[in-house]
Amino acid sequence: MTDSTVRIDIADLPAAVRQFVAALDARDTAAVAGILTPQASVTDEGRTHTGIPSITEWIADTASAFTYTTTPVAAERAGTDRFTLSQHLEGDFPGGSVDLHYRFTLEGALISNLVITP
Protein backbone atom coordinates (compact mmCIF):
# COMPACT_ATOMS: atom_id res chain seq x y z
CA MET A 1 0.00 0.00 0.00
CA THR A 2 1.48 3.37 -1.02
CA ASP A 3 1.00 6.64 0.84
CA SER A 4 -1.80 7.62 -1.56
CA THR A 5 -3.59 4.29 -1.20
CA VAL A 6 -6.32 4.11 1.43
CA ARG A 7 -8.17 1.05 2.70
CA ILE A 8 -11.92 1.36 2.29
CA ASP A 9 -14.91 -0.76 3.14
CA ILE A 10 -15.82 -3.17 0.34
CA ALA A 11 -19.33 -1.68 0.32
CA ASP A 12 -17.78 1.71 -0.51
CA LEU A 13 -16.35 0.54 -3.84
CA PRO A 14 -17.91 2.35 -6.81
CA ALA A 15 -21.06 0.82 -8.26
CA ALA A 16 -19.28 -0.16 -11.50
CA VAL A 17 -16.71 -2.21 -9.58
CA ARG A 18 -19.35 -3.98 -7.48
CA GLN A 19 -21.49 -4.61 -10.58
CA PHE A 20 -18.53 -5.95 -12.57
CA VAL A 21 -17.58 -8.43 -9.85
CA ALA A 22 -21.17 -9.63 -9.48
CA ALA A 23 -21.55 -9.97 -13.26
CA LEU A 24 -18.21 -11.78 -13.56
CA ASP A 25 -19.22 -14.24 -10.82
CA ALA A 26 -22.54 -14.80 -12.63
CA ARG A 27 -20.76 -15.00 -16.01
CA ASP A 28 -23.20 -12.33 -17.22
CA THR A 29 -21.45 -10.88 -20.27
CA ALA A 30 -24.30 -8.48 -21.09
CA ALA A 31 -24.09 -6.90 -17.63
CA VAL A 32 -20.30 -6.59 -17.92
CA ALA A 33 -20.58 -4.93 -21.34
CA GLY A 34 -22.82 -2.24 -19.86
CA ILE A 35 -20.22 -1.02 -17.36
CA LEU A 36 -17.13 -0.89 -19.61
CA THR A 37 -15.80 1.91 -21.78
CA PRO A 38 -15.76 0.89 -25.47
CA GLN A 39 -11.97 0.47 -25.47
CA ALA A 40 -11.67 -1.03 -21.98
CA SER A 41 -8.98 -3.59 -21.33
CA VAL A 42 -8.67 -6.52 -18.95
CA THR A 43 -5.36 -8.22 -18.20
CA ASP A 44 -5.58 -11.68 -16.63
CA GLU A 45 -2.93 -14.41 -16.50
CA GLY A 46 -0.59 -12.18 -18.50
CA ARG A 47 -2.99 -11.75 -21.44
CA THR A 48 -4.70 -8.47 -22.26
CA HIS A 49 -8.19 -8.39 -23.73
CA THR A 50 -9.12 -5.03 -25.28
CA GLY A 51 -12.61 -3.92 -26.26
CA ILE A 52 -15.97 -5.21 -25.13
CA PRO A 53 -16.16 -8.16 -27.59
CA SER A 54 -12.74 -9.43 -26.49
CA ILE A 55 -13.57 -9.01 -22.79
CA THR A 56 -16.93 -10.78 -23.05
CA GLU A 57 -15.22 -13.62 -24.95
CA TRP A 58 -12.66 -13.87 -22.12
CA ILE A 59 -15.51 -14.13 -19.58
CA ALA A 60 -17.27 -16.83 -21.62
CA ASP A 61 -14.01 -18.81 -21.94
CA THR A 62 -13.24 -18.48 -18.23
CA ALA A 63 -16.78 -19.54 -17.32
CA SER A 64 -16.49 -22.74 -19.32
CA ALA A 65 -13.02 -23.61 -18.04
CA PHE A 66 -13.52 -23.64 -14.24
CA THR A 67 -16.08 -23.50 -11.48
CA TYR A 68 -15.18 -21.34 -8.49
CA THR A 69 -16.49 -19.21 -5.66
CA THR A 70 -15.19 -15.82 -4.58
CA THR A 71 -14.95 -14.15 -1.19
CA PRO A 72 -14.12 -10.43 -1.01
CA VAL A 73 -11.26 -9.83 1.44
CA ALA A 74 -10.25 -6.14 1.25
CA ALA A 75 -10.61 -2.96 -0.80
CA GLU A 76 -8.39 0.05 -1.44
CA ARG A 77 -8.72 3.39 -3.19
CA ALA A 78 -5.84 5.19 -4.89
CA GLY A 79 -6.92 8.64 -6.01
CA THR A 80 -10.38 9.22 -7.39
CA ASP A 81 -10.32 6.68 -10.22
CA ARG A 82 -8.32 3.64 -9.08
CA PHE A 83 -9.62 0.89 -6.83
CA THR A 84 -8.34 -2.55 -5.81
CA LEU A 85 -10.53 -5.40 -4.65
CA SER A 86 -8.76 -8.40 -3.14
CA GLN A 87 -10.67 -11.67 -3.33
CA HIS A 88 -10.10 -15.26 -2.30
CA LEU A 89 -11.11 -17.82 -4.95
CA GLU A 90 -11.70 -21.53 -4.42
CA GLY A 91 -12.59 -23.95 -7.17
CA ASP A 92 -11.62 -26.71 -9.55
CA PHE A 93 -8.73 -24.81 -11.17
CA PRO A 94 -5.10 -25.91 -10.68
CA GLY A 95 -4.12 -25.33 -7.05
CA GLY A 96 -7.73 -25.09 -5.88
CA SER A 97 -7.44 -21.69 -4.17
CA VAL A 98 -5.83 -18.33 -4.80
CA ASP A 99 -5.94 -14.75 -3.59
CA LEU A 100 -6.32 -12.30 -6.46
CA HIS A 101 -6.13 -8.52 -6.66
CA TYR A 102 -8.50 -6.82 -9.11
CA ARG A 103 -7.05 -3.38 -9.93
CA PHE A 104 -9.70 -1.21 -11.57
CA THR A 105 -9.31 2.14 -13.30
CA LEU A 106 -12.50 4.10 -13.89
CA GLU A 107 -13.34 6.67 -16.52
CA GLY A 108 -16.33 8.48 -15.11
CA ALA A 109 -18.79 5.82 -13.99
CA LEU A 110 -17.36 3.13 -16.32
CA ILE A 111 -14.42 0.76 -16.07
CA SER A 112 -11.61 1.53 -18.51
CA ASN A 113 -8.99 -0.92 -17.25
CA LEU A 114 -8.73 -3.98 -15.02
CA VAL A 115 -5.58 -5.87 -14.14
CA ILE A 116 -5.95 -9.14 -12.22
CA THR A 117 -2.88 -10.41 -10.35
CA PRO A 118 -2.08 -12.89 -7.59
Domain extent for 113 = 5-117
Q: What is the pLDDT of residues 59-107, one digit of tens each?
A: 998 878 889 999 999 999 999 999 999 999 999 999 999 999 999 999 9
Q: What is the pTM of this model?
A: 0.93
What's the number of domains the chain is made of? 1
Region 45-55 average pLDDT: 96
User: Which value, to the nearest 10 degrees, does the dihedral of the CA atoms of residues 37, 19, 34, 104 take?
Assistant: 10
Nearest to 112 by CA among 29, 39, 16: 39
Biggest CA–CA distance in the chain, Å, is: 40
Q: Where are the beta strands (DSSP E) in 1-118?
A: 5-8, 36-44, 47-50, 68-78, 82-91, 97-107, 110-117
What's the CATH number where 105 sits? 3.10.450.50
Categorize the per-residue pLDDT at 3 as very low, low, confident or very high, splitting at 50, 70 and 90.
Answer: low
Q: Distance between CA atoms of 109 and 15, rounded to whole angstroms?
A: 8
Average pLDDT over residues 29-39: 96
